[in-house]
Structure 1
């Protein structure tokens, strides 16, 4: 499996002119022609369509003209899961862009692909985050183009200041919020779109917010300006 392709090799002594890839809906996904003497070809999995690629059992069919030479079934899955959401203020040693004075309001999303084919992250949607309260918007989206290789966990840095509660023009009155649920959803090209929730307790006042992130019963409290 390449970075974005499914690579196929046929036996040297096989007489094969075409290889067809049939998707789980029994529709022709793609077909490749082998020139005389060729034994390898590949199918593009990522970037071929704007819409999602169906996952499941695919059938590879080898043809010599109109005659079926061989067939085999393979399962293609991109099983993506968000394993953690990290706040820059609590993880200062990560590779944040620290050129901005508010870099510590950023977030990072860890996405694990447990499948056997790559996927492509195209968008991350944030709901119920501090930035949503600051901008008075239900969902805030940031667009990405990040490969999610199979068997690996990829760190994706947010495109905005997710944990920000103040701007030059407005601020969040944290004393009125209590505990809120932040939900992040990753939009991927291959496989289901994973989601992850994080509880945030808001405290302090409109001019001085204290955010507490609670995960699995453990709590760490930081003020919005990054102080303990």
Structure 2
């Protein structure tokens, strides 16, 4: 999904920076901050950029018809050169791979002509991954992946994710803690996420979450297995709470959501497990 309007400020240089050191380190003396506000798109007014946006894991730069620049440098949040591109005459678009190993934060995109800085656009590229939904497969078998076994349906969870940020990310570890029958061991090193793209049954190494994307992942940890001994089930109903934790490759903060849960029945093998607020 394409995410447009990444610009959060626009700096137009009143002077021309000279020398490769000044360019690659981002030391752009003489710049003037125009007070560009988040969400605004005034790119067309600078005569160089028509649009800047993320497409998948690429940064896309589109140039206006009047642009005569011949070079673009991208400076990362640490002030180091992230990428550079030669822009041939007549080229109206270039793509720069961001990938899934970048530093989140503010990037400066510097447009040059004959080694002179013409303008700089600053964009924030960072993910904002969230857990948006959790359902038990046993209560929603129709929402499980194709080919799910009876054991999958009895023991696994369905987790909704969203990337509300401006940069791509990758879910690399899912874990359950608290009052679930089978919490994830701290030393567990696999992702705990079902690999939907593999022809053989295995855990995924990571699931891409692009900007603006919503997707569903499936646990491969059996957190609600009746063989677990961390909780009990009773006809009088046992109540508790558990946490779902998601680690990603880029986002610095770990994503966590807590859910209230109840267990009703004679034993875990015949237990009615309900998450508060879920059908």
TM-score in same-fold range (> 0.5): yes
Task: Please list the CA deviations of residues 91-137 of structure 1 after superposition, one character each: whole Å capped at 9, or x if unmatched.
Answer: 1221334452212221111111112333222222232342228xxx3
Partner of 2:198 in structure 1? none
1:70 maps to 2:119 = yes
User: Which among 7, 11, 21 is matched to residue 74 of structure 2?
Assistant: 21
- Structure 2 length as normaliser, TM-score? 0.63
- TM alignment of 1:77-226, pairs within 5 A: 77-104=126-153, 105-128=155-178, 129-132=180-183, 137-138=185-186, 140=188, 141-142=191-192, 143-166=204-227, 171-172=228-229, 174-175=231-232, 179-191=239-251, 192-202=253-263, 208=269, 210=271, 212-215=273-276, 218=277
- Structure 1 length as normaliser, TM-score? 0.75
Q: Would you say the 8 A contact 1:80–1:193 is kept in 2?
A: no
Task: Please list every run of 5 or more consecutive structure 1 residues that lacks an aligned counterpart in the other structure.
Answer: 221-228
Partner of 2:11 in structure 1? none
Q: Which runs of 4+ in 1 moved over 6 A?
A: none
- Provide the aligned C-alpha RMSD in A: 2.9
Task: Please list the CA deviations of residues 198-222 of structure 1 after superposition, one character each: whole Å capped at 9, or x if unmatched.
Answer: 233446566646353343xx477xx
The structural deviation recorded for 1:146 is: 1.9
User: Which among 69, 87, 103 is matched to residue 54 of structure 1?
Assistant: 103
Q: Would you say the 8 A contact 1:114–1:152 is kept in 2?
A: yes
Aligned length: 207
Structure 1 or 2: more strand by fraction: 1
The structural deviation recorded for 1:87 is: 0.6
